[in-house]
């Protein structure tokens, strides 16, 4: 092999190895995701970039790039996500769309809302007032919402916000989570299209285990793009305080 051919071979080999490394790392370890909506405010803000860990839940075809792999009701090296986890998943009625919500209901659980309060397996989930929080609207404006700490069965504490005491999803029928499925809700309870709305009505419905992609672990960066239309606002729209912010 001539020196020129040898050099081309080494460059090609390096490129192949780089591509394989990216493919393996985004398949087996973690993957970045971008959040364009406010359904998980204040935990996750519009414009946050998340890093989702794939290995905690095992793997399915939706953990693979381009959803490669066969359909299966089980996950390779699978572990069930825990109640209270922030979960990244493919929308069941349109797997090309990625959502992020909090896991509220496990298989076999009954879930319903009554006057804005979450009831799991017949027990009202305790909440306590925690001041107020600013939440951003889709037009870039913000409003003040009541902030609460909610304690899920098992002891996970997390923040929710309420904009309205009598929102359209504050009273629901009772849902029973099927085997191999999960019930997801947004922390911004009055502004979240989630499992409270059945898939046939344009909502999320129950999420199959196969559709779970990753656990949301950390905000790696954040940019308030809704308020950065003018050039002089581009730098100030970077939310430096949210870089490497742990999701809880």
Q: How many domains does the chain have?
A: 1
Q: Which of 103, 113, 150 is nearest to 128 (CA)?
A: 150
Report the greatest alpha carbon distance in the chain.
78
Where does residue 122 fall: left (phi above 0), alpha (psi -120 to 50 degrees), or beta otherwise? left
Kindly report, residue by residue over 130-160, the tens digit of the pLDDT: 999 988 887 888 899 999 999 999 999 999 9
- Enumerate the active-site residues: 39, 101
Highest mean pLDDT among 53-62, 106-115, 138-147, 237-246: 106-115
Kindly report, residue by residue over 19-64, the tens digit of the pLDDT: 333 334 445 455 778 888 899 999 999 999 998 988 888 877 777 6
Structural domain harbouring 97: 3-246
Residue 239 has pLDDT above 70, yes or no: yes
Q: What is the pLDDT of residue 136?
A: 87
The two structure tokens encoding residue 232 = 């002089």
Give me the residues paired with residue 49 across strands.
34, 221
Q: What is the pLDDT of residue 79?
A: 78
Kindly report, residue by residue over 175-188, the tens digit of the pLDDT: 999 999 999 999 99
Question: For residues 19 and 26, is the Cβ–Cβ distance under 8 A?
Answer: no
Q: Exposure string (b/e) for 213-239, b if CB count within 10 Å is 16 or more?
A: bbbbbebbbbbbebbbeeeeeeeebeb
212-222 and 245-246 beta bridge pairing: antiparallel
Q: Give me the CATH number covering residue 238.
A: 2.10.109.10
* pTM for the full predicted model: 0.83
In this structure, the number of other CB atoms found within 10 A of the CB of residue 153 comes to: 15
Q: What is the pLDDT of residue 22?
A: 37
DSSP H helices in the chain: 3-24
- Beta-sheet strands, E only, within 21-67: 30-34, 48-53
The DSSP result for 189-220, as a single string, is TTS--STTS-GGGTS--PEEGGGEEEEEEEEE
């Amino acid at each position: 092999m001539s020196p020129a051919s040898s050099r081309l071979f080494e460059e090609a080999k390096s490129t192949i190895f780089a591509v394989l490394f990216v493919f393996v790392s985004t398949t087996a370890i973690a993957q970045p995701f971008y959040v364009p909506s406010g359904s998980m405010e204040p935990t996750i803000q519009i414009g946050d970039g998340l890093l989702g860990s794939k290995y905690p839940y095992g793997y399915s075809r939706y953990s693979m790039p381009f959803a490669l792999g066969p359909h299966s009701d089980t996950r390779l090296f699978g572990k069930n996500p825990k109640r209270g986890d922030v979960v990244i998943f493919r929308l069941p009625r349109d797997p090309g769309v990625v959502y992020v919500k909090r896991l509220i209901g496990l298989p076999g659980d009954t879930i319903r809302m009554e006057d804005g309060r979450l009831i799991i397996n017949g027990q009202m989930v305790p909440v306590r007032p925690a001041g107020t929080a600013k939440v951003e609207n889709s037009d870039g404006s913000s409003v003040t919402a009541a902030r609460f700490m909610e304690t899920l069965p098992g002891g996970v504490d997390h923040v929710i916000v309420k904009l309205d005491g009598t929102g359209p999803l504050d009273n629901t029928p009772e849902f029973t989570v099927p085997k191999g499925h999960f019930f997801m809700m947004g922390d911004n309870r009055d502004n979240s299209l989630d499992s409270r709305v059945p898939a046939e009505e344009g909502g999320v419905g129950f999420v199959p285990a196969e559709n779970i992609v990753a656990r949301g672990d950390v905000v790696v960066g954040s940019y308030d793009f809704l308020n950065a239309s003018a050039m002089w606002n581009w730098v100030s729209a970077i939310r430096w305080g949210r870089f490497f912010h742990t999701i809880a």
